[in-house]
Amino acid sequence: MSEATARTRPVRVLLADDQPLLRTGFRMVLGAEDDLDIVAEAGDGLEAVELSRRLLPDVVLMDIRMPRMDGVAATRAIVDARLPVRVLILTTFDLDEYVVGALRAGASGFLAKDVPAEDLVTAIRTVAAGDAVVAPRILKRLLDRFADVLPDPAAAPPKTLSALTEREREVLVQVARGLSNAEIARALSVSETTIKTHVGHVLTKLGLRDRVQAVVLAYESGLV
| Annotated domain spans of the chain | 11-143, 150-221
**What pLDDT band is residue 142 in, cutting at 50, 70 and 90?**
low
pLDDT tens for each residue of 99-110 = 667 777 788 888
Query: How far from chain centre, in Å, is Cα 191?
Result: 23
Q: What percent of the chain has pLDDT over 70?
A: 81
CA dist 180 and 186 (Å) reads 10
More confident residue, 44 or 179: 44
Nearest to 181 by CA among 167, 195, 198, 200: 195
pLDDT at residue 206, as a whole number: 87
**What pLDDT band is residue 55 in, cutting at 50, 70 and 90?**
very high
Span of 62-71, 112-121, 173-182 with lowest mean pLDDT: 173-182
CB 34 within 8 A of CB 10: yes
| Average pLDDT over the chain, rounded to an integer | 81
- The hierarchical CATH code for the domain 150-221 is 1.10.10.10
Q: Is the pLDDT of residue 140 over 70?
A: no
Q: What is the pTM of this model?
A: 0.68
CATH 3.40.50.2300 corresponds to the domain 11-143: yes
